[in-house]
Structure 1
Amino acid sequence: MKRDEYMDGAGWEQERSDIIPTDLWVNDRDHNRRIAWWREARFGLFVHWGPYSMLGGMWKGERVDANYAEHIQLRGKIPVAEYAEAAAGMNPEAFDAHEWVLLAKRSGAKYLIVTAKHHDGFAMYDSKVCDYSITRHANFPKDPIKELAEACRAEGIRLGIYYSHAMDWHHPDSQGNTLDYPGNIGAWDQLEDWIDDQDKRERFERYLHEKALPQVEELLIDYGPIGLMWFDCGHKIIDEHAVWFHDRVRRLQPDCLINKRLRDDRFADYGNPHDNQLRFHPVQQDWESIHTLNDSWGFRYGDDHWKSPEELIDQLLRVAAANGNLVLNVGPLGNGAIDETSRSLLETVGSFLERNGEAIYGTSGSPIGTPQWGYCTWKPEGNSLYLLVRDWPQDGYLILPGLASGVQYARVIGAKAKEDRLAIRQIGPWDWQIDVRSVPQDAYATVLELKLSGEQLESNGTPRFISSMPNTFWAYDGAIEGEGLRCDNGKRGHDGVTGWTAPNAAVRWAFRSEEEGPVHCRIIVTLSASADQAGGRFELSLDEQKLACTVYDTGGDGCWGEYEIGRLTIRRAGIHHLEVRGISLASDALMNLRKVTLLPVKEE
């Protein structure tokens, strides 16, 4: 069906009655070919830019209470006519598409995702479907998406398009804007609350056919090869709607990737967990973690809660080690300029990747789990295991746990000569010791390559205790027992377990030690609790040893407190069991638990 037919609404009743092809996403033989470049890329850059960037979280001189600046129209209860009047004044005279793409390149990103239309409904390109755009409504003489597409092609960066398909606060029949259109579906309405309401469904589907579907067609037809379509809020549509979008992408650009937020995994080439998620449990082979540099996605005045270079690079390593892609977001000002702090942070990441990109680009996730000192990535085709060392061993000998495969050599990334290879020896059936005393340490992570021998990598997935450094056991990675207890959303302040409402719930870990003699450890627990909502007692056990503890107030949910609760001893080599179990509740819940650290010490 042609674009102009959708604009008149012709034929959409027929399309609604189509049978959803059940093998649409299951038997896609082209998936591996289509996603090969994305797997190689491992790192991308997101750009959130629109009229909200011009407002910067402020409306009529007052700060709007919204986590994300791009939600200002909804959160600030701004009438659509007033928001549209403000949007008409957008004049991004500092916008330079080539400069944006060069920044992406300097950051080490291999793809760039740009917001073509966010929830406010404003098209940041020259849309012929609707005049509510930067070129027609704001009369800006340039088409930003066209210029970015040209710059990306010139610099070898893949262009991705963000398009909010499920929500549009400007269209009278879409979701989210009940201030101007009281009969609309509410921003927080659940799908099951409205899908059987004939009026709401018909109106919403009119929006899809009048605007969303035709605009997606425009973007796929008029701007050259698109690497991926990044949809959002797919939980707000049904399977039938998802098929309409999926069909257009596959028909118009068969090689274009589709993210999970079109609808769910069945329609996607790769998955998306929560935004800004520090801890995660990927359930898809291919997945992408997206993070802001500060708090908001769109530019917001006074948003100075910047992540440090250490945090950003640590997240890059953690995601790569879990076989994912990291995408960092920048929010340009309304005039199109990118602030100096964002530039500096992205260029620092780029500098790290320039030194160590061999261990990130084109790698797979760690085949041996997560060592205490950092992370691992893996290139099966080159038989190379990369060690991304964040915490340096105090004695200068790095223990590589869980690997039974032979090792040809170990080297620091960048070292070419044979005389620069590091001394390495096997210690026991599963572990290796690498002499790193001569290795200069990188400010963020020192990267070593191990060239393995043999065709098969043999590993032992049980974490090893290393007596020369602190050993951290993250609650997110533990085995959870007890009704209600679960992993939180993984974001900052919530990267632990929560819902500790059953007094005897527990988190458990298993690890192995190769120390023949006893190792004495200080036990440090990181938790959050508030006096009015949490409290009680818990017990920490290491094998048959136990410590009983009282939960204290850390300042509330998301405020992690760390305190030492005593000392226990690892008494022998072998498998050991560590557990935190509730004893009693003083209020609604016991606590949120983030981690337990065993800090080896010498007994005086």
Structure 2
Amino acid sequence: MKLSYTFSCLLLCISLAFGQKKAGYKEQWQFPAPDSSFYVTENQQKELYATEEEMNWFKDAKLGIFVHWGPALLETNVLSWGRNGERPGAGKPANKGIDPDIYDNLYKQFNPVNFDADKWMQQVKDWGAEYIVFTAKHHDGFAFFDAHNTDYTIMHTPYGKDICKELADAAHKAGVKLFWYYSQPDWVHPDNLREKHYENYLPYMKSHIKQLFTEYGKIDGVFWDHLATKYWQWDSYHVLKDMKFWQPGLISNARTGFDWPLADRGDYDTPEQSLGPIDHHRYWEACLTMTDKWLYSPKGPIKSAETILGMLIQVAGNGGNLLLNLGPNGKGEFVAEEAAQARRVGDWIKEYGETLRNTRRGIYVGGDYGASTQAGDTLYIHVLQKFATNTKPVISLPALPVSLKSVQGVTPGYQGFEISDTDLKLYFESEAFSRNIDNIVKLVLTKNPENLERIKTWEAKAIGSENFQIEASSFAKSGNEPEVIYEVEGNIFSEGIHLKSWWQPHQSDQNPALKLHLNKPKPIETVLISENMRSHSVSKFELLSKDQNDKWSTIYTGNYIGEGLRIKLNGNPVYGIQLRILESKYQTQITAFNIYE
């Protein structure tokens, strides 16, 4: 090493002595490169970007399946992070979990006897997905492939077969695109991010990468997971350059290490447990879990097909893919109820997938109404908004800058449209509209709007909490009071960011309710409700409004909330709004309950 880890630590100590901010846990894992060849210029970084042609299939796909799996499931439902050991590269130390002596030996019992790679690929296709991302190696260092430089692999389990090989062969047969997830940090290797990192660990990692991307046929992409490290610590430039030579057309996510010269790392961004932005400057992929965990979680809350589809439509309409994670069990099978909900998603995609697949985000920016997608001169309006009882379903959007050739309903219930100088109105029949998860209208335009400026559809600002008193039937504990959901700014487009505050009623509460008593009557037009992304739990709820006599009346009843549910009211003045939870399969966790004039 030309600049040793020991010397970099000395430099760090000197900088601290001169009054700089004290280093935190993650800073101990960050140190300079051994020589200047590990650092790159902007032009070198640009060499690594995939072309638009190489990205097209990915942008067309819209739905992928993520699989987190490992021997850890024999003792915990938290992959890697459930290990109570040192965490090189992480931002915080472990303070609980499975003792390393136990965790690191679970592979000796791991025997997924029912694993069937061909069945997995058929399921991926049945679920409407185009690609799969599989955890070849997570932070805990266990390898699902026949790694030649360690015994901590699937080959040394009772199962004893190369699962990556089986998956690759099956994916190629089925025509499913394949990504390897590979964690650069390794929490069991003694030299990872330590003094002999460059001499010992980096060659160890590079051996894995070469094997995974040269010995398993066509691999379409790589999902890195760099944690709190720098790009040069993994020699990311040279590694990616080699990988793109071995696998022409390979695409890479953004987690290649921080501090590249250009802000856009990799080929696309990967917000986690968040739906991401509505108008981001480049393509992205929302990584979401089917349950509350990435690993097998047999008692966790399972998202319904309705909530998954709501998220998929919002993501596709706002310029991204949905990467939905399912955690197989110890026998190598997907949980039956998770697979059943995913199959329902696939059934919907078979019927309406043309409105999502092979499209790009539409000229209408996502908002109160839902989202839009487009392909050439065809624009699809996806109406996700629901309407209160006795409120006619009418969607009003700003006028388009081009004229229409034709307008037709894709889903049942569409009745017609009306155009003025300022508005495009879409009319629906109430009963059919309320049955649809997504009410879709197809507009054929006289001109492809791809290069036209996108149109904002919703400028509304939520009424601030200073305008109402908050009342909850109960709350589980300190930190779950209803006030907390009005004290956060909301989701941020960033890796690993999700809302961490929510109202949760006490488990003994038989009639959970959240009330907003307005200081003075206001003409409420929209109510927005969201559940914690990890716990879509509500299976029946009602929305009520309060009149001047303090009487509450039901104005909407629904069977799911999910993420970003908008309910349109008639705009009459009300004195309060109430959310009442009637049925919830798991713990109710409400992250948003906002009202708009």
Structures share a fold, TM > 0.5?
A: yes
Counterpart of 1:432, as a letter, is L
Question: Which of 171, 174, 189 is the equivalent residue of 2:192?
Answer: 174
Are 2:432 and 1:447 equivalent residues in the alignment? no
* Structure 2 Cα separation of the partners of residues 270 and 524 of structure 1: 32
* Structure 1 Cα separation of the partners of residues 362 and 33 of structure 2: 49
Shift of 1:216: 0.8
* Structure 1 Cα separation of the partners of residues 100 and 382 of structure 2: 50
Residue in 2 that maps onto 1:209? 202
1:522-580: per-residue Cα shift (whole Å, max 9, x none)?
7879899xxxxxxxxxxxxxxxxxxxxxxxxxxxxxxx9x9xxxx998xxxxxxxxxxx
* Structure 2 Cα separation of the partners of residues 41 and 309 of structure 1: 18
Answer whether contact 1:278 1:491 (CA < 8 A) is retained.
Answer: no
Residue in 1 that maps onto 2:561? none
1:82-132: per-residue Cα shift (whole Å, max 9, x none)?
333221111110111111111111111100000001111010111123221
Residue in 2 that maps onto 1:48? 68
Change (3 A) 1:29 1:138: closer
* Structure 2 Cα separation of the partners of residues 327 and 402 of structure 1: 33
SS in 2 for 1:39: helix
Are 2:350 and 1:354 equivalent residues in the alignment? yes
Shift of 1:396: 4.5
Answer whether contact 1:426 1:432 (CA < 8 A) is retained.
Answer: yes
* Structure 2 Cα separation of the partners of residues 144 and 359 of structure 1: 35
Q: What pairs up with 1:278-317 in 2 under 5 angstroms?
A: 278-280=275-277, 283-303=280-300, 305-317=301-313
Shift of 1:400: 3.2
SS in 1 for 2:373: strand
* Structure 2 Cα separation of the partners of residues 101 and 525 of structure 1: 37
Question: Which of 154, 161, 169 is the equivalent residue of 2:173?
Answer: 154
* Structure 2 Cα separation of the partners of residues 526 and 228 of structure 1: 36
Shift of 1:284: 4.3
Q: What pairs up with 1:369-518 in 2 under 5 angstroms?
A: 369-379=365-375, 381=376, 383-392=377-386, 394-413=391-410, 423-427=416-420, 429-437=421-429, 440-441=432-433, 443-456=436-449, 461-463=455-457, 473=462, 486-489=489-492, 491-492=498-499, 494=501
Residue in 2 that maps onto 1:245? 239
1:373-412: per-residue Cα shift (whole Å, max 9, x none)?
2211122x2x111111123564244333342321111122
The alignment's TM-score, normalised by the length of structure 1, stands at 0.67
Question: Which of 121, 124, 137 is the equivalent residue of 1:117?
Answer: 137
1:496-540: per-residue Cα shift (whole Å, max 9, x none)?
9xxxxxxxxxxxxxxxxxxxxxx9447879899xxxxxxxxxxxx
Change (3 A) 1:301 1:214: same
Unaligned residue ranges in structure 2 (runs of 5+): 1-31, 85-93, 465-486, 504-521, 532-563, 574-589
Q: What pairs up with 1:313-332 in 2 under 5 angstroms?
A: 313-332=309-328
Answer whether contact 1:44 1:112 (CA < 8 A) is retained.
Answer: yes
Shift of 1:356: 1.3
Residue in 2 that maps onto 1:129? 149
Question: Which of 259, 263, 274 is the equivalent residue of 1:277?
Answer: 274
Shift of 1:597: 2.3
Most deviating of 225-234 and 399-408: 399-408
Residue in 2 that maps onto 1:138? 157
Answer whether contact 1:387 1:447 (CA < 8 A) is retained.
Answer: yes
Counterpart of 1:433, as a letter, is K
Unaligned residue ranges in structure 1 (runs of 5+): 1-12, 58-67, 176-199, 466-470, 476-483, 497-518, 529-559, 570-591, 600-604
Change (3 A) 1:44 1:525: closer
Cα RMSD, aligned residues only: 3.6
Shift of 1:444: 1.4
* Structure 1 Cα separation of the partners of residues 343 and 250 of structure 2: 28
* Structure 2 Cα separation of the partners of residues 28 and 281 of structure 1: 26
Answer whether contact 2:411 2:440 (CA < 8 A) is retained.
Answer: no
Counterpart of 1:84, as a letter, is D
SS in 2 for 1:149: helix
Shift of 1:424: 2.7
Percent identical across equivalent pairs?
23
* Structure 2 Cα separation of the partners of residues 351 and 107 of structure 1: 7
SS in 2 for 1:130: coil
* Structure 1 Cα separation of the partners of residues 572 and 79 of structure 2: 48
Shift of 1:138: 1.1
SS in 2 for 1:18: helix
Residue in 1 that maps onto 2:557? none
Change (3 A) 1:329 1:234: same
* Structure 2 Cα separation of the partners of residues 174 and 462 of structure 1: 47
Answer whether contact 2:463 2:596 (CA < 8 A) is retained.
Answer: no
Question: Which of 234, 244, 250 is the equivalent residue of 1:256?
Answer: 250
Answer whether contact 2:131 2:178 (CA < 8 A) is retained.
Answer: yes
Are 2:120 and 1:100 equivalent residues in the alignment? yes
* Structure 1 Cα separation of the partners of residues 439 and 528 of structure 2: 28
Answer whether contact 1:271 1:284 (CA < 8 A) is retained.
Answer: no
SS in 1 for 2:45: coil
Change (3 A) 1:158 1:349: same
* Structure 2 Cα separation of the partners of residues 400 and 439 of structure 1: 22
Are 2:332 and 1:339 equivalent residues in the alignment? no
Counterpart of 1:113, as a letter, is V
Counterpart of 2:68, as a letter, is H
Change (3 A) 1:99 1:522: closer
Shift of 1:224: 0.8
Counterpart of 2:160, as a letter, is P
Shift of 1:20: 3.5
Answer whether contact 1:20 1:240 (CA < 8 A) is retained.
Answer: no
* Structure 2 Cα separation of the partners of residues 106 and 525 of structure 1: 32
Answer whether contact 2:273 2:287 (CA < 8 A) is retained.
Answer: yes
Shift of 1:204: 2.3
Residue in 2 that maps onto 1:514? none
Shift of 1:240: 5.5
Answer whether contact 2:360 2:374 (CA < 8 A) is retained.
Answer: yes
Are 2:78 and 1:71 equivalent residues in the alignment? no
* Structure 2 Cα separation of the partners of residues 404 and 224 of structure 1: 47
SS in 2 for 1:332: coil
Change (3 A) 1:357 1:473: farther
SS in 2 for 1:387: strand
Counterpart of 1:104, as a letter, is V
Counterpart of 1:145, as a letter, is C
* Structure 1 Cα separation of the partners of residues 211 and 436 of structure 2: 46
The alignment's TM-score, normalised by the length of structure 2, stands at 0.67
Shift of 1:295: 0.8
SS in 1 for 2:148: coil
